[in-house]
Amino acid sequence: MNARRPFPPPPSAARRSGRGEPLASQWWSQRFTAVLEGYGLGPRMERGRRYARGGKVQELLVKAGRLEARVQGSRATPYRVSVRSAAPSEAHPSKAQWKALEQALAARLGWTAQLLNGEVPRDLEEPFAAVGVPLFPRRWDDLQVRCGCPDDAEPCKHIAAVLYVFAQRLDEDPWLLLAWHGRDRDSLLASLRRDAPEPANAEGLPPWWPMGLRARPAPRLTPPDPLPPDPPERALQRLGPLELPGMEAEELERRLAGLYRQLLEGEGELR
């Protein structure tokens, strides 16, 4: 499983590419840049940011526990860069661990809904921690990096650029965080659908209906049956006092009440 991400960066990233503007603006992507910037390399990190903003990262593959990229440097041939988890078992959960994670996701449909909405739930770290897999690298030593450039420094500006661009991409697509752990969006959603208990009345459920729910959407509210019409006397009372030359008011009301009753009961022609 891998997720290929072509470059240059998307327009939304370009809007953040001014000097001083953060390449990663969301809390989850900043967790990756915090690991890099916490290493205290100063000027080299700034050069890596310039490479990231300048579109030097030409290709990025996100795989289980590793990133593979090509970065254009001063030479004609781009340098190959790889970033791996120092402990693969911490970045790439086992089948049993992913089974537990999928069960946790199925039990909290709000997490999947937030990911589909382009957000990483802040408490998503909890189920990962419960199975012994940190959702984010905690320190630089958690990563193993390699670059084909002649610079002996670690990390070089090419490696820094790749990590910055990956964090930038996480802003756009938080599912890449799960791809880093071995599950891309499609495979995870398919697994959740496959393992979800089938609702008893699932026939006709819309395709967008969240996986794992046991019931259909509530039907639209139907209006109650109309109230019966007012009796003739009450309807005439609402009209107020009635007058007709040559006829007493009581007689007029009696006749009108009779006509009204005929209309309600549908008794042939009015008399």
Contacts of 136 (CB under 8 A, 6+ apart): 28, 31, 32, 35, 125
pLDDT in tens, 195-209: 655 544 445 555 555
Cβ count within 10 A of residue 131:
15
What torsion, rounded to 10 degrees, do the Cα atoms 193, 197, 203, 206 define?
-40
pLDDT in tens, 219-261: 555 556 666 666 766 666 666 666 767 778 778 778 777 777 7
The whole model's pTM is what?
0.63
- How far apart CA 47 and CA 119 sit, in angstroms, is 29
pLDDT in tens, 9-51: 444 444 444 455 567 778 888 887 777 677 665 677 788 888 8
